[in-house]
Every structure is written in structure tokens, then in C-alpha cells.
Chains A and B, each alone.
Chain A
Amino acid sequence: GIQVEQSPPDLILQEGANSTLRCNFSDSVNNLQWFHQNPWGQLINLFYIPSGTKQNGRLSATTVATERYSLLYISSSQTTDSGVYFCAGPAGGSYIPTFGRGTSLIVHP
């Protein structure tokens, strides 16, 4: 099946810093999504981004499908950004999202 690698596995930031999270896929990407899991366990869909770039406030994401990776940018980080960020993509020819192991982000005040 498809392999999803996320980096870095852990990230600690001071409030106000910027960061870039990366997601690599072993197969072609056509249905990529980014999620934030807050400290209470709720998974929130941040972006549906099969290709190109999207922005939502301080967050933006870029997917380069031909090179099998996606990036999530967090600017001016806040303590509420803490949690785990997951990317998810399809397995082979299906549209079933397969998740990476996530990037754990802690933002200190």
C-alpha cells in the first residue's frame, strides 16, 4: 500500500514563529488533505488540496502532485496551533485516505 511520511515528527516553537511541515507520498497523490488534531483529540479538516496552493488565514498549503509531496505552512504561530498535524492521501487507485504518523507541534507562549 501507499506509504505516507511526515516530517519533522516533533516540533517545538515559540509563539510568533513560522514553520513548515512536510508530507511525502510513495505513490501519486490525487486527493490530499491536511488535518489538525487538537489536544482533546478532535480531527479538523484544514485543507483539501490535491494540487496547487491554498491559504486560510495564517495557514497555507502547497501540493506538488507530480513530485509526490505537500507542505503546510504555519505563520505567526499561536499556542492554539498546538496539536498533531496529519496529512492523508489515497491508497493506489482508490480515494481512501491513508494517514501519516503526524507532526506533533507544541507552541510555547
Chain B
Amino acid sequence: EAGVAQSPRYKIIEKRQSVAFWCNPISGHATLYWYQQILGQGPKLLIQFQNNGVVDDSQLPKDRFSAERLKGVDSTLKIQPAKLEDSAVYLCASSRTGGQYSPLHFGNGTRLTVT
């Protein structure tokens, strides 16, 4: 089965610019996650979708970050305007159900550098 697809692979922008990331989960996976991984740390959850509904976005900085998952399949994460501290790898993951017995599968990530 095809894995989780993410694009772009790398992105360099200046602060105050906007950027968008795209994710296509594994076919049939109902749950989609966006994680932020800062260098030297573990991934931190930004938002979780179950189909096209938001399950948890408590750690998403809503003044500048937004995410959507139209039609319950692929998803986009947007940052507007970007800050220097947003430099990180943005990881998308999916799982079959989001409940028990549902391992996470990660994409390759998008490495964002804000200058």
C-alpha cells in the first residue's frame, strides 16, 4: 500500500510570509494528524482530524496556523504569517481509526526554514 504523501519536501520563507503544506494519508485511513518537530525534540501534535472533523486542536496556534481536511481525505496546513520559531519539520501521520489497535504511519515531512 502507498504510504503517507507530503509536499513540499523543503520550504524556505521569510518571516511574515505565508506557507502551506499538503498531506495525502494512506487510503482508507480515517484519522489524520499534523505534528510539529523542532530540532532535538519529539513531535508535538498540532491537530487531529477524524474524517473531516477536528478531534483535537488544543495545541494549534490558531492566530497564525490553520488546517483543513475537506472531504475527509487529504489535508492542508497553513501558517500565516510565519515567525522564526516556526522553523521545524512538519509531519503528517495517519491511522486507520484513531482508537485502540491503530498504529500511526508518518510521511517524510516538510522541513520549513523561516529566515
Contacts and interface: CB of A to CB of B under 8 A. Distances in A.
A101 B43 CA distance: 8
Nearest to B40: A101
Nearest to B111: A41
B105 to A, nearest CB: 6
B58 to A, nearest CB: 9
A99 B35 CA distance: 10
Nearest to B44: A99
B35 to A, nearest CB: 8
Contact of B105 (A45, A99, A100): A45
B106 A86 contact: no
Given A41-B109, A94-B56, A96-B56, A33 B104 contact: yes
Contact of A30 (B55, B100, B104, B105): B100
Nearest to A50: B100
A83 interface: no
A88 B102 CA distance: 13
Contacts of B108: 40-42
Nearest to A42: B108
Contacts of B106: 35, 42-45
B61 interface: no
Contacts of B48: 96
Interface in B35-55: 35, 40-45, 48, 55
Interface of B: 33, 35, 40-45, 48, 55-56, 89, 91, 93, 98-106, 108-109, 111
Ordered nearest first, which 9 A-B pairs have the shortest CB separation? A99-B42, A43-B106, A48-B103, A99-B43, A45-B103, A101-B42, A95-B99, A102-B42, A100-B42
